[in-house]
Amino acid sequence: MSSKRELIFITTNSHKVKEIRDFADAESGNITIVHRDYEYPELQLDEIEAVARESANYVREKTGIEDAFFLEDSGLIIPALNGFPGPFSAFVFKTIGNDGILNLMADKKGEARKATFKTVVAFCEAPSKTPILFVGIAKGKIAEEIRGCGGFGYDPIFEFEGAEETFAEMSTEEKNRVSHRSRAFGKLLDYIS
Ligand code: IMP
């Protein structure tokens, strides 16, 4: 009999669930991702790390959850825009979206189009423990135009470094090989195995 460990992932984003499930299945046959569709407020803090940690504390306090769980917060960081949208990525996506980012980048050429995706996974092992954070980044650049219909969010305007395609032109498997999310979650898998 195989003894699979269940790991609760708290998010309302079904794309993130698919990416994490596919990655867990490919990397470790021993983890079953249990999705809890619990919505928590998007905190406006200065660092993605702080957003992930405080969101995990909030969820633990509000739900009284005693099982181990994790959640994650991600953001797109554009150095030529002083790190914008960074921790405000969700709000910026809802308001100006990919077209708005492309407009802000209209006069940026070459190196100035560099961008980084960052995911911070916050893992709560037990109610008495503070969340442990795992960070993953993916470096790339902002594409000249929206390309691809896979993925979600900023995927259609993000080209991973050295790749011709945007994340939205990749399959989930291809994105998972290099993404910020899989790198952060991979560190959690290493930690618990
Ligand atoms: P959050 O982690 O859900 O708060 O994400 C912040 C914003 O970044 C949202 O608008 C997401 O759609 C977007 N986002 C998060 N992860 C990714 C990703 O892997 N690709 C593209 N956009 C993302």
pLDDT digits (tens, 9 = 90+) for 58-81: 999 999 999 999 999 999 999 999
Bridge-based pairing of strands 158-160 and 69-77 is: unpaired
List the domain boundaries for the chain. 5-192
- H/E segment holding residue 136: strand 132-142
DSSP letter at 78 equals -
Mutate to test the pocket of ligand 1, among 54, 154, 176, 179 (most ligand atoms within 8 A of CB): 154
Atom number of ligand 1 nearest to Cα 180: 19
Question: Catalytic residue at 73?
Answer: yes
> What's the confidence (pLDDT) of residue 2?
58
Tens of pLDDT, residues 141-182: 999 999 999 999 999 999 999 898 999 999 999 999 999 999
CATH topology of domain 5-192: Maf protein (3.90.950)
Atom of ligand 1 nearest to the CA of 181: 19
pTM of the model: 0.96
| φ, ψ dihedrals at 7, nearest 5° | -130, 125
Taking only the tens place, the pLDDT of each residue in 97-144 is 999 999 999 999 999 999 999 999 999 998 888 999 999 999 999 999
CB 52 within 8 A of CB 122: yes
